[in-house]
Structure 1
Amino acid sequence: MSAGTVCGVVLNGGGSTRMGRDKADLLLGDVRVLDRITSTLSSITSQIVINQNQESHLLFPIIEDRFDDAGPLGGIHAVMKERGEEWFLITASDTPFISAEVYHSILRFREQDRDAIIPVFEGRIHPLSGLYNRRILPELTGYLESGDRKVAGLLEKINTYYMEELLDIPESDVSRHFFNMNTPEEYERAEELLKNGSK
């Protein structure tokens, strides 16, 4: 299966209310968070889109939501409606240290009977760092039309593979991959992680 069948998706639809300013636009070192994320995705696939409802991007297509206030699932739905790739590799704009190695590991678990591959780390599922097959689009559309918004609820309705096999990657790299930056305090922590060796 070629890399061309995979679309990298940055979900940038949150309001950044806890941060108080746009998380994606913050600098870590001299690089914007959004640019750090898309740079890593670019090492995995040449097909990258950003889900957000404002502004444009110089390098990547912007796809706006079709459902109001539908959260991450609304972003995944919008991208699947717009794009033709078979698989959609998801990340969010509050994860500045995503790891290409983690995503390559997830991609190795693609199988035709799996609708989603969701990593599990330290006992928690991470659906916004997962891989989804476009075949879920009808189920996802109906789910959103019924007013449901919870990602976990959708995962119960489709054939989800919960992946705990991240043993080949240093735990420190995996931990940074799943690091979320939603508050000013977490932004300070991200700056510390950068100084301590995060790429």
Structure 2
Amino acid sequence: MEWTAIILAGGKSSRMGTNKAVLPLGGQPVIEHLVRELQKATGNIVISCGQSSEYAELGLPLLYDIYPRCGPLAGLHAGLAASPHRWNLVVSCDMPFVNASLAQYLVKQALELEGRGAEDGGRAIEAVIPRVNGQIHPLLAMYRCTVLPGLEQMLDDGCLKVKQWTSGLAVRYITGEELSRASGIPLEMIVFNMNRPEDYQAAQFYFEQNKT
């Protein structure tokens, strides 16, 4: 079954002070590294870029926010609204260690859950979200297209908190340990994201220590 990978790259990077998606790791921008990993898993990749055209050189479809200045939920919405597929993997552009194996595992879980009619609270599962050290990570997750109407309603109501939205979904949570085993990524790096300069420095150190 085909699926779409949606890279969220429309944030302001205010805490980083510069666009974190184009910061280099190993001589390659973070977003380009992420694209190359996802291309190993799917031929359907789009970039939800807010209002920017900065990523045109990547040669992928750029999706602009239908709800401008509404944060990550608007990026999620733009990606899901444009997707022709039932299931979609959403990945934030500041997660430099997401690899193809991790993506494929999340996809596999979503399809298997749907195939056996898994439910949560009497409703068919519509999201698969990592939960690492007690924290959920909805910007690295699988979403079924049926979540779109509820997402639009949240945006129309001005409710912009991602976790508030996901709390109303039928979700299956995947542990960090499970994702680490499936992907080969150390547990502490599974959902590592770069928000601040010190995060970028940590990512550079880890990348240099583990490059082949």
Superposition TM-score, scaled by structure 2 size? 0.86
Provide the aligned C-alpha RMSD in A. 1.7
SS at match of 1:10: strand
| Matching residue of 1:64 | 64
Pairs within 5 Å for 1:89-100: 89-100=89-100
| One-letter amino acid matched to 1:173 | P
Moved more, 144-153 or 164-173: 164-173
| One-letter amino acid matched to 2:75 | G
The 8 Å contact of residues 102 and 174 in structure 1, kept in 2 or not, is answered as no
Match of 2:136 among 125, 143, 154: 125
Whether 1:44 aligns to 2:41 is: yes
The 8 Å contact of residues 89 and 131 in structure 1, kept in 2 or not, is answered as yes
| Matching residue of 1:185 | 198
SS at match of 2:65: coil
Give the unaligned 5+ runs of structure 2. Answer: 115-123
Q: Distance in 2 between matches of 1:74 and 1:133?
A: 16
Pairs within 5 Å for 1:1-199: 2=1, 4=2, 6-52=3-49, 53-55=51-53, 56-58=55-57, 59-110=59-110, 111-112=113-114, 113-164=124-175, 165-166=178-179, 168-169=181-182, 172-198=185-211
SS at match of 1:67: coil
Residues 16 and 49 of structure 1, relative CA distance in 2, 3 Å threshold: same
| One-letter amino acid matched to 1:17 | S
C-alpha displacement of 1:68: 2.3
The 8 Å contact of residues 90 and 128 in structure 1, kept in 2 or not, is answered as yes
Residues 172 and 44 of structure 1, relative CA distance in 2, 3 Å threshold: closer
SS at match of 1:17: coil
- Structure 1 stretches of 4+ with a deviation exceeding 6 A read none
| One-letter amino acid matched to 1:91 | V
| One-letter amino acid matched to 1:57 | A
SS at match of 1:178: coil
Q: Distance in 2 between matches of 1:33 and 1:178?
A: 15
Residues 44 and 170 of structure 1, relative CA distance in 2, 3 Å threshold: closer
Give the unaligned 5+ runs of structure 1. Answer: none
Residues 7 and 170 of structure 1, relative CA distance in 2, 3 Å threshold: closer
Q: Distance in 2 between matches of 1:161 and 1:48?
A: 24
Aligned identity (percent) is 30
The 8 Å contact of residues 106 and 141 in structure 2, kept in 1 or not, is answered as yes
Residues 198 and 85 of structure 1, relative CA distance in 2, 3 Å threshold: farther
Q: Distance in 2 between matches of 1:45 and 1:167?
A: 21
| One-letter amino acid matched to 2:92 | A
SS at match of 2:109: coil
C-alpha displacement of 1:106: 1.4
Q: Distance in 2 between matches of 1:106 and 1:81?
A: 21
